[in-house]
Amino acid sequence: MILKGYLFSVLYVLLCMALALIFYKSGLEKKYCRKIVHILVGFEWVILSHYMGTSYHFFIVCILFTLALLLIYLKNLVPMISSDSDNAPGTVYYAVAMSILSLVCIFIPDMLVPFGIGVFCTSFGDGFAGVVGQLFSKYTKKLYNQKSIVGMAANFVFSSLSAFAISKIYSYELSLWQCMAIGFLSFGLEAITTNGLDNITISLGVSLFAFALHNYETTVFYVIPIILTPIVILLVRQKRVLTNTGLAVALAIDLLISLTFGNFGFTLLISFLVGGVITDKLKALKKVRDDITKKEHSRDAIQVIANGLIPVMCAVIYSLTFNKIFLYAYIASVAEALADTSASGLGVYSKNTFDIFRFKKCIKGISGGMSFIGTFAALVGATLISTIAFMFGTVNLKLFFIVTAAAFLGSVFDSFLGSLFQVKYKCPVCGSLTKGMSTAAQLL
């Protein structure tokens, strides 16, 4: 059996190369020849798993293939699977991922089927994503990293089908929705990974996720943050919502809160992020020059910490005490953050702004300023977060109103503090106000 495994695995790889060469000599573009090999090579797992199982022989074959592919890549010995557009050794990375997973299977035999799911999501999902994306490249808009919507949709479909097929053939008992979650994670990892490294991230990420879904019921509690975090990263990068440091801090906050509150906590965070993005877009439509706050379009680490510190503190304390008061405090803090963001962003649509401490009109955007539209937007933002908490069953109707009121009043109190304590500066040249000190500014 073992000798047959070695023989058939080598013969199958040579067959894949021969088919690619035939198509290449027939005039097929190199990019499609590469994808043919990429798609077909997934069946190598079927051969090796059948003849070698979880033995060290599986690992040895993968290591040998990795070394052979590395030599082919460095010497450009097989031109029909090389890339003209980049120098990424994607095929080598694929073999590296299989080597890692085959090694894991020696110590954790139950990883074998999830290993196959990861391999086929890489072969079929990522492979057909490239083929479909290239076929429809003239008709679809490119997103981040030259990924297209059509290509990502193809990844989702073929990855979901691959996971479902493997789970049925090998009696792994994954439900349809779990296979779709795997497909969602696959296309998310493919979307955010560059330079051929998606062959590693998809193989490893999907394999571990499939294993967790099958063996640990608590995985369901974390499904939403697991499958949506890559998509959030993609959208944040594409829209430039956060700076690089801002994104790093946001991911750390995401991790801490998701570990504590799971699907519910992550959904609240994403709702705040989406609400903030929509608010910024609506504010941009007004085309108001922001001379007061002087903020860039992308939010930095300091701004992320300012919005996320209290929610993180609530999550940490709750995880230590399991006192529900800190769960409700977490909801209220996120609701207050969205309320405050909505108020400051949409307040520019009001004709009049008032300083609530000094009881007089003030310039739009200055700390302590409040307007009718801004105040209403704050109420809507607070209500939105409380509604999500209510839909998750985390709060009852009574707590819904309490949390909403607390968040709204917190936003109002924030304006009060801004009016009372925020230092304001005035330019001696033009007389305009700002919250930041410049070389031409002097304290009021």
Q: Is the pLDDT of residue 177 over 50?
A: yes
Rounded CA-CA distance 15/385 in Å is 56
- Residue 20 has a pLDDT of 81
Q: Is the pLDDT of residue 117 over 70?
A: yes
Report the domain count for the chain: 2
Residues 71 and 145 in one domain: yes
Q: Is the pLDDT of residue 64 over 60?
A: yes
User: pLDDT-based confidence at 315, cuts 50/70/90?
Assistant: very high
- Sheet with 425-426, edge to edge strand ranges: 433-434, 425-426, 442-443
User: pLDDT-based confidence at 361, cuts 50/70/90?
Assistant: low
Rounded CA-CA distance 290/297 in Å is 11
| Bridge-based pairing state of the strands 354-355 and 360-361 | antiparallel
Residues 82 and 46 in one domain: yes
Residues 250 and 390 in one domain: yes
Residues 316 and 406 in one domain: yes
Q: Which residue has the higher pLDDT, 113 or 126?
A: 113
At residue 438, φ and ψ (nearest 5 deg) are -120, 175
- Residue 167 has a pLDDT of 95
Residues 157 and 248 in one domain: no
- Which residue range is the domain that position 412 belongs to? 244-443
**Between vectors from CA 411 to CA 405 and to CA 413, what angle results, nearest 5°?**
100
Amino acid at 248: A
User: pLDDT-based confidence at 418, cuts 50/70/90?
Assistant: low
Last residue of a domain, one of 222, 239, 256: 239
Minimal CA–CA distance to 335: which of 258, 252, 271, 282?
A: 271
What is the mean pLDDT of the segment spanning 120-141?
82
- Residue 139 has a pLDDT of 67
Residues 250 and 229 in one domain: no
Residues 284 and 181 in one domain: no
Rounded CA-CA distance 19/258 in Å is 46
Indicate the pTM of the whole model.
0.83
User: pLDDT-based confidence at 313, cuts 50/70/90?
Assistant: very high
Residues 318 and 185 in one domain: no
Q: Which residue has the higher pLDDT, 104 or 138?
A: 104
Rounded CA-CA distance 39/136 in Å is 19
Q: To the nearest whole number, what is the mean pLDDT of the chain?
A: 82
Residues 153 and 279 in one domain: no
What is the mean pLDDT of the segment spanning 243-249?
86
Task: Render pLDDT for 144-165 as a digit per residue (tens, 0 to 9).
Answer: 666 778 888 899 999 999 999 9
Residues 332 and 431 in one domain: yes
**Between vectors from CA 177 to CA 48 and to CA 221, what angle results, nearest 5°?**
100
Residues 44 and 148 in one domain: yes
User: Taking a C-beta distance cutoff of 8 angstroms, is the pair 167, 173 a contact?
Assistant: yes
Last residue of a domain, one of 239, 269, 289: 239
Residues 161 and 198 in one domain: yes
- Residue 31 has a pLDDT of 75
